[in-house]
Structure formats: C-alpha cells, structure tokens
Structure 1
Amino acid sequence: MNKRNKSAGNWIIVGIAAFLMAGICICFVVNREKQKLEAAKLYEQTAGSEDVTGEDVSESRSGKDFNQSDMGDESSTEKSTDQLRDGLSKKQADYSAELPVNIAEIQKDMPDVYGWIEIPGTKVNYPVVQREDDNLYYLDKTPDGSSNIEGSIFSEDYNRRDFTDPVTVLYGHNMKNGDMFGELHLYEDKSFFDANRDLYIYLKDKKLTYRIFAAVLFDNRHIMQSYDFSGEDSILPFIREIMNIRNMRSNVDRDISILPTDKILTLSTCHGMGSDYRYLVLGVLQND
C-alpha cells in the first residue's frame, strides 16, 4: 500500500512539473509573437523612407551648414508629414484664393515658417522654413519641431527669406514614398517635364510664380558656396552650366530666355545614383 501511495505521489510531482513547463513554453511563445507584432508595427511606421548616406558637414559663418548628403535614418517619426500638412491646411480656411496660405497665422505656432511651396501635379505642397544659426536643424524635424525622418523643406541662411536673392536654394529629402522632394524625380520624364512647369511660392503678402526651365542631374557641390552671386551678371556662369547639361535624366528648356537680373529658384534633393549626385529643379521668377 505504501509503495502504491509513493508511486502515485511521484506521478503527481511529474504532472505538476510538466504543467509548469508547458506554461513556461506558452508564455515564451506568446512573448515572441508579441515582439514580432511590435517589430512589424515599427517597420510599417518607418517604411517608405529612403536611407541616404552622409558626408562631413563643412563649417562656415553659420556654424552649422547643410550638405544635401547629410541625411540620416536615426530620427523617430512622431507625427506624419501628411498629418502636419492637413493640420496647417485647416488653418487656411476662408483665406483668399490668391494667397491660399496664411503665413502670419502659421507663424504664431511655427515662427521659422516664412513661406509655402506648391508644384501642381506633384505632392510638393509644404511650408518652407529657415532656422537662425543652424542650417541642419530641419533635416529631421517638421516645422513644429517634431522629430521626423522626412524633415522639412528648408533654406540656409545664405538666402534671404523674401526670395529676392539672384539664386535661392531650397532643400528637401528624396523620400521613396514621394513625400517632400521625392516627386521631383518625376521631372526626369520629358513628357512630365513639358506638362508641369508651374511652381508657386506663397509669402505673407504675395504669391510668386516661377516657370520651371530645367530639371537636371548635377554634382554635389554646395551651390551657394561654389558660385559668387553678388555681382552683375553673377547668375550667368551657373545658368550656362545648367543649360549645357545633357544626359538621359535631365530635361532643359533651352529656348527660354534667362536675363542677368532674373531671380532663380533651385530645388535640391538626393539621387539614387549616390552621394556624389544631386537632382535639381530650377525655375525663373515670372512676377515680382
């Protein structure tokens, strides 16, 4: 009888141990599945961003200057660009058709916003920012200061904020999903280039209209540091170089007349060919 009781007790111990082991295994599996789900969600949040390698950033009078290839993937996305754009658009309700964007209203919350860029036929429809004494600030931040790998459309402090410089350069990331300046690459197609030549800049008190005359694969020179735009006819060497570009990825309207006194807007983004290249879309101001 004692032997039978002892045997039964052993089986109970074995059963309890087996039950505990099964529970541990189940918990492990559930935890692994939870980790996989969280990883999948994180991937979905960050998918669509293009990883662009960086170069050293040169020092200049601003202390921090931007090189178009200085784009990383370390920023977390706290607010999507579409959400921010939609929120800003709601602030423009009942504003005039001539100036559909109320820059003064936006500046109450985002003082670095000084303009708005729109290119019909593309997703380019964003605020334009500039950060005093820090040309790198908006590489990975939205105009409201939120961290976002898409960054913002911005200029450096080499340019005034009224677009009166001979050449003004705006930078934006080349995103795989087409956000920011990703859709500038649509201009590599000749038919798209021919059909989408209008570009608008909205300021506090006026609308600037540009005619796009070139979309070219360029090298990675810092345009504002590489050319002297301070004298008479100063834009001509730059314009001649643009007009002489001939490759399969570039489209240029060589019939357009560019005067030495014209104001040129240059949009700059990265290109899939590597960090040695930039893609530029250039427009000439039609009104002032």
Structure 2
Amino acid sequence: MNKKNKYAGKWFIIGIAAFVMAGICICFVVDREMQKLAAAKLYEQAAASEHVIGEDESESRSGKDPNQPDTGDKSSREKSTDQLTDRSKKQKDQEKSQQTDLSADLPVNIAEIQKEMPDVYGWIEIPGTKVNYPVVQREDDNLYYLDRTPEGSSNIEGSIFSEDYNRRDFTDPVTVLYGHNMKNGDMFGELHLYEDKSFFDANRDLYIYLKDRKLTYRIFAAVLFDNRHIMQSYDFSGEDSFLSFIREIMSIRNMRSNVDGDISILPTDKILTLSTCHGMGSDYRYLVLGVLQNN
C-alpha cells in the first residue's frame, strides 16, 4: 500500500506540473497573438493618420482649408490645368505674333539677308537721297568692305560699313558709318546735298533698320571736318569727351556746313555719324550727324 501510494503521489505531481506548463504555453501563445493584433491595429491607425496628414499638408500648400469639404472633382481640376496651359500657350503665340508683325512692318528683312550676306547687320535709309543700303561690319578686318560689296565681291564703290570700335546695335554714344563719295551719287555721294541749306532744312530724317526694330534719327549737323579718325580721337566712354566732340561740331561755321543751333544734345543721347570724303582733298571729311529719337 505504501508503495502504491508513493507511485500515485508521484504521478499526481507530474500531472500538476504538466497542466501548469500547458497553461503557461497557452498564455504565451495567446499573449503573442494579442500583441500581433495590437501591432496590426496600431499600424492601420498610423497609416490612416499619415494619409490624412498628407492630404491636409497638400491642401494647406494649395491654400485650401482641410476642414472645408472638397467641392471640386478630378475632372474640374484637370480642366483648370488645361485652361492655364492654353492661356500660357496663347500668351506665347501672341508674343511671337507681335515679334513677327514688327519684323513684317520693316521694309527689309535683315535675318533673310544674313543668310546670303552674314556680315550685314542693319540697313540705312535717308529719304530724299540715294542712300538706301545694307550696313556691314567685318570681324577683325576694318578695311575689308572699303572695296567690297556686302556679298564680298571686289568693287571700288565698296559698302556702307562700320568698324569694330562700334557695337552692331547702335547703342554706343557715337556710332560712325563710312561710305565712299562716288561721283554718280552712289553710296555716300549724296551726303554732299546737305551742303545746301534748303536741302538740309527739308531732309532731316534718317532711318536704321535692324532685325527687330527701326531706329529714327534727326539730322542736326552736316559739316566739313578734318580727317581725324573719330573713334580713335575721342574717348566716348566719358561724358566730357562726348560733349567736347558735340561742341566742336556745333561750333563749325563755313559755307559748306549746316548746323541746327536750336537742338540740344544731352550726354545720354546716341549719335550716328556718317563719314565720307570731300572734293577739297584727303585732309577733309564730310560728316552728317543725327541724334536718336527712339530707343
């Protein structure tokens, strides 16, 4: 009996231990599952929160109150975007049209001329004279067009040209254009018409045509001058030198010169000077000067 009771007590203890261990395992498994469920729920809540915050930030950046209902759908937003795109396209088309219209209003198309004569950058016209020619400038060779046409062919008449002391947009304080004094009046031959006072008074307009605009000058002086190289003799980057040149021109009084003493030239003005030879000899040049009226 004592032996049986001993074995029965032993198995009872083993059973209790097994039951306790099984309970512990079950609790552990249940706890892990509960943790997984809790983690999944937290993840869902965090994702939902992030989505809402993202929408709020987007609406805030666009200036929209996130608390207000969204009354616009996707199609309306796409329509608004299309309208902005169309408006931008129309504005660009209008600007392009304005540029085209401006070029169309010019009597010469410099861009087209440059396809055949790349050194042409402008065109000069003086109503009442034969002066109606392209204007050229040769890089690194100021004498190139002295005896060449704008096409580059040799010709004693040469071309109307500027030197590289001047920019090609006529924005320098003084721009000088050169042309031969041809006996038949070609090139700058007819500038000598300005020696006559009545002709000077009646023909004061001078035009320069560029790619995209027309420059209008008012002729204020036509004078017999010496043969100094104007761009090398005066420092037009300084106001004093500019005014000194203007005073010298305005003070000339002789039978071959005409000056409008009523016109005022300011230091900020842009002057176009046309230079050609004179029959009195190589020591002289005949200059016709105009002041820019429009920018």
Counterpart of 1:168 in 2: which secondary structure? strand
The alignment status of 1:126 with 2:133, answered yes or no, reads yes
Q: Kindly state the Cα deviation for residue 97 of structure 1 after the two structures are TM-superposed.
A: 6.3
The alignment status of 1:148 with 2:155, answered yes or no, reads yes
TM-score by length of 1: 0.66
Which residue identity lines up with residue 249 of structure 2 in the other structure? Answer: I
- Pick from 177, 183, 194 the counterpart of residue 187 of structure 1: 194
- Pick from 251, 254, 270 the counterpart of residue 247 of structure 1: 254
Q: Kindly state the Cα deviation for residue 99 of structure 1 after the two structures are TM-superposed.
A: 1.0
Gap regions ≥5 residues in structure 1: 1-93
Tell me how far apart the structure 2 counterparts of residues 225 and 234 of structure 1 sit (CA, whole Å). Answer: 12
Tell me how far apart the structure 2 counterparts of residues 96 and 206 of structure 1 sit (CA, whole Å). Answer: 7
Partner of 1:135: 142
Which residue identity lines up with residue 100 of structure 1 in the other structure? Answer: P
Which residue identity lines up with residue 108 of structure 1 in the other structure? Answer: K
1:158–1:96 CA distance, 2 compared to 1 (3 A): closer
Larger Rg: 2
Which residue identity lines up with residue 146 of structure 1 in the other structure? Answer: S
Partner of 2:217: 210
Tell me how far apart the structure 2 counterparts of residues 122 and 97 of structure 1 sit (CA, whole Å). Answer: 24
Alpha-carbon contact 2:103-2:211 (below 8 Å) kept: no
Task: Describe the superposition over 1:12-54 as per-residue Cα deviations: whole angstroms up to 9, x where unpaired.
Answer: xxxxxxxxxxxxxxxxxxxxxxxxxxxxxxxxxxxxxxxxxxx
Which residue identity lines up with residue 147 of structure 2 in the other structure? Answer: D
1:140–1:202 CA distance, 2 compared to 1 (3 A): same
The alignment status of 1:282 with 2:289, answered yes or no, reads yes
1:95–1:231 CA distance, 2 compared to 1 (3 A): closer
Tell me how far apart the structure 2 counterparts of residues 284 and 252 of structure 1 sit (CA, whole Å). Answer: 13
Partner of 2:18: none
Alpha-carbon contact 1:113-1:129 (below 8 Å) kept: yes
Q: Kindly state the Cα deviation for residue 239 of structure 1 after the two structures are TM-superposed.
A: 0.3
Partner of 1:263: 270
Could you say which structure has the greater relative contact order, defined with CA pairs below 8 angstroms and 6 or more residues apart?
Answer: 1
Q: Kindly state the Cα deviation for residue 233 of structure 1 after the two structures are TM-superposed.
A: 4.5
Counterpart of 1:273 in 2: which secondary structure? coil
Partner of 1:107: 114
1:205–1:233 CA distance, 2 compared to 1 (3 A): farther
Task: State the percentage of identical aligned residues.
Answer: 94
Q: Kindly state the Cα deviation for residue 234 of structure 1 after the two structures are TM-superposed.
A: 3.7
Task: Describe the superposition over 1:157-195 as per-residue Cα deviations: whole angstroms up to 9, x where unpaired.
Answer: 000000000000000000000000000000000000000
Q: Kindly state the Cα deviation for residue 96 of structure 1 after the two structures are TM-superposed.
A: 5.7
The alignment status of 1:161 with 2:168, answered yes or no, reads yes
Counterpart of 1:281 in 2: which secondary structure? strand
Counterpart of 1:269 in 2: which secondary structure? strand
Instruction: Report runs of 4+ in structure 1 exceeding 4 Å deviation.
Output: 94-97
TM-score by length of 2: 0.65
Q: Kindly state the Cα deviation for residue 263 of structure 1 after the two structures are TM-superposed.
A: 0.2
**Bigger fraction of residues in helix:** 2
The two structures, once aligned, show a CA RMSD in angstroms of: 1.3
Q: Kindly state the Cα deviation for residue 98 of structure 1 after the two structures are TM-superposed.
A: 3.2
Which residue identity lines up with residue 179 of structure 1 in the other structure? Answer: D
How many pairs are equivalent? 195
Which residue identity lines up with residue 270 of structure 1 in the other structure? Answer: C
Which residue identity lines up with residue 237 of structure 2 in the other structure? Answer: S
Q: Kindly state the Cα deviation for residue 235 of structure 1 after the two structures are TM-superposed.
A: 1.4
Tell me how far apart the structure 2 counterparts of residues 231 and 242 of structure 1 sit (CA, whole Å). Answer: 17
